[in-house]
Structure 1
Amino acid sequence: MLSKAAILPLSCSLLLGACATMDQADQTSTLARATLSDAAGASVGTVRIEQSGTALSLVADVRGMSTGQHGIHMHTTGKCEAPGFTSAGGHLNPTAHQHGTMNPAGPHLGDLPNITVAADGTGTLSAPLSGTAATVLASLFDTDGTAIVVHAGPDDYKTDPSGNSGGRVACGVLTQGA
């Protein structure tokens, strides 16, 4: 049996160990990032792919954009040639699903919720990504990379292949690592 003098240090050690484990589970790491630029080349925001535990998310922060909702998607090619950003290709779709969370044959990996931009031109989006870090990163960093594209209008979450979200107004190429 342990003496009272031994119980206190043991209890403290167990408590500190539990706290350290909780801190590790709460840590968020950035796996990829992009700087969004508009057609004139001005920086209008950033995007990060983050991992917390086993959960992945895309976090976007924009500024200097028009008020309202904008479609935002991951696109198949890591290339952002202004002014139209068509070099980014179509939506990232490694599983050959149709577009949209409201489409019974969707969604695909490139689908994300709309980002809402306030009257001051800023907006933030945090959206969960499906899949393990290994499978998502393999899709994002294939031979031609991945671009993040912000569109002029809102995504309707059902129209295949693009969500009827209008022209491309900002684009950024994802790069791996923090």
Structure 2
Amino acid sequence: MSTSPTLPVDEALPRLSELSIVDVRTPGEFATGHLPGAVNIPLDRVEARLADLRQAADRRPLLLVCASGARSEKAAVTLASHGIPATSLAGGTRGWSTAGHPLTYPPGPVRGVWAMERQVRFTAGAVVLLGLLLGLSVHPAFSLLSAAIAGGLVFSALTDTCGMAVVLGRLPWNRRGEGDVRPR
């Protein structure tokens, strides 16, 4: 996979007002804090929103953001394959907040939604334990459930994709609507 251009946090801060900022995390993650002025278009919706993203990129440079920079780089590569230039924020929102820069929160109470990586680790661990417990107490064939998760984790690491994250991203707490990058 080719890498996309990245913008370090210290260079992004003074340029926020001249950028169209698109956060590609799930809506649940977005609600736990995002860059000022960011709109939310989850990674799995980027291709469906190409027309809007192209218009936004024509107005101002696109800065893509996620938790660590990995998903935003994937989104930038996807957009580049469609002729839409975009840059990824190096370090993502973690790098942004670690540098002491403010995050914006939606109005109302903030629900504690775990980051997608944490949701994947929890789910994978729970399914592996369930498979082992059922394999020991009910039938040995249930151990195959643990083996399937292990195989999925190896595949995920080798391909730098995560099917479990795609599935978890469709759960209600990770789906809350997405931002509008069109001018108002």
Q: TM-score, normalised by structure 2?
A: 0.24
Larger radius of gyration: 1
Greater fraction of residues in strand: 1
Structure 1-normalised TM-score? 0.25
